[in-house]
């Protein structure tokens, strides 16, 4: 028995649509608990931009901040929020990851001291204590900054303060900290009535890099959901820039803990740092930073950029 043409077309449409519907759900693993760095993702979800793109996106804060890229590499989630330096190191270690988008396109990491303290320049760190939370990359940043000032890591004492960055300065445990996010730690210190001074790696001998990026499993770089996802994120970024108050209301909806003074200040400081075109890739920036990481001994080989970063169309 033959189907009438319309019925056959309808049946074929159903068969075609079913797999697409099944693929609409996406899981995005954040790098940390929800904070203003994630504003485009949260706003895109709250205002229905993902939904308009045909996507059902779940944002998940990790139990362990080190896990998201590894879980994506293992196929446990579609996307993870990560960091350009971390991506380049992990790809060098063999993880099948690829950068598909950018959230924050400037470094946030900084070297912070007390504004009224004795350290007025990086050179003043000689003989002093510097706190850090994550070894390896932060050592490389600090080492490059010290070298530009005519010093080396041997001229300072490194102290592991875990994630107690601002408190370790305020208590006098250390004279400076590396790894402080300029949109958070500086605001936290100002609120505590002990303003900080930041030295920016990109002004002190370190190539500029993308702070927060979106990574996928390399085998899934052709997933048709990814361009839709990035288009929704771009829409959210533009909405945030055009309507900051309305966007902030959407960001804090149901999250009163994100509407305190620290997070409001961080929100304002983070806005200009969001990538206006999340899908865009500056290959030269990635190549320069790979050369830097190799020179600092963090990767063995500066791989071609297209081995770990793509522009989706």
Question: Tens of pLDDT along the chain (313 residues)?
Answer: 333 333 334 334 433 444 444 448 999 999 999 999 999 999 999 999 999 999 999 999 998 888 999 999 999 999 999 999 999 999 999 999 999 999 999 999 999 999 999 999 999 999 999 999 877 899 999 999 999 999 999 999 999 998 789 999 999 999 999 999 999 999 999 999 999 999 999 999 999 999 999 999 999 999 999 999 999 999 999 999 999 999 999 999 999 999 999 999 999 999 999 999 999 999 999 999 999 999 999 999 999 999 999 999 8
DSSP 118: S
Helix axes 244-252, 261-270, angle to 10 degrees: 130
pLDDT, residue 11, reads 38
pLDDT, residue 12, reads 40
pLDDT, residue 22, reads 44
pLDDT, residue 121, reads 97
**What pTM did the predictor assign?**
0.89
pLDDT, residue 16, reads 41
**Cα angle vertex 286, ends 283, 288, to 5°?**
110
DSSP 189: H
Pairing of strands 212-217, 196-199: unpaired
pLDDT, residue 117, reads 95
DSSP 3: P
Nearest to 84 by CA among 216, 169, 211: 211
pLDDT, residue 56, reads 97
Lookup result for tokens 């931009």: 49
């Amino acid at each position: 028995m033959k189907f009438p043409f319309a019925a056959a077309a309808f049946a074929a449409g159903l068969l075609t649509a079913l797999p697409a519907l099944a693929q609409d759900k996406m899981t995005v693993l954040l790098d940390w608990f929800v904070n203003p760095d994630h504003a485009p993702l949260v706003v895109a979800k709250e205002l229905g931009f993902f939904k308009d793109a045909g996507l059902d996106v779940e944002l998940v804060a990790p139990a362990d901040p080190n896990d998201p890229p590894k879980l994506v590499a293992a196929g446990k989630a579609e996307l993870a929020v990560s960091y350009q330096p971390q991506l380049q190191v992990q790809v060098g270690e063999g993880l099948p990851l690829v950068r598909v988008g950018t959230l924050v396109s400037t470094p946030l990491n900084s070297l912070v001291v007390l504004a009224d303290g004795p350290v007025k320049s990086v050179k003043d760190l000689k003989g002093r204590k510097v706190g850090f939370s994550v070894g390896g990359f932060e050592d490389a940043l600090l080492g490059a900054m010290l070298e530009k000032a005519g010093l080396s890591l041997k001229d300072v004492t490194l102290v592991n303060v875990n994630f107690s960055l601002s408190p370790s300065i305020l208590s006098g445990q250390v004279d400076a900290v590396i790894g402080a996010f300029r949109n958070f730690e500086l605001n936290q210190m100002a609120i505590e009535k002990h303003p900080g001074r930041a030295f920016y790696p990109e002004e002190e001998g370190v190539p500029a890099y993308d702070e927060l990026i979106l990574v996928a499993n390399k085998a899934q770089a052709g997933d048709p959901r990814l361009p839709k996802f990035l288009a929704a994120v771009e829409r959210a970024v533009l909405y945030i820039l055009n309507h900051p108050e309305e966007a902030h209301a959407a960001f804090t909806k149901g999250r009163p803990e994100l509407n305190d003074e620290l997070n409001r200040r961080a929100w304002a400081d983070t806005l200009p740092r969001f990538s206006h075109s999340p899908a865009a890739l500056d290959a030269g920036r990635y190549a320069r930073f790979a050369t830097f990481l190799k020179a600092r001994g963090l990767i063995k080989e500066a791989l071609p950029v297209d081995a770990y970063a793509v522009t989706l169309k």
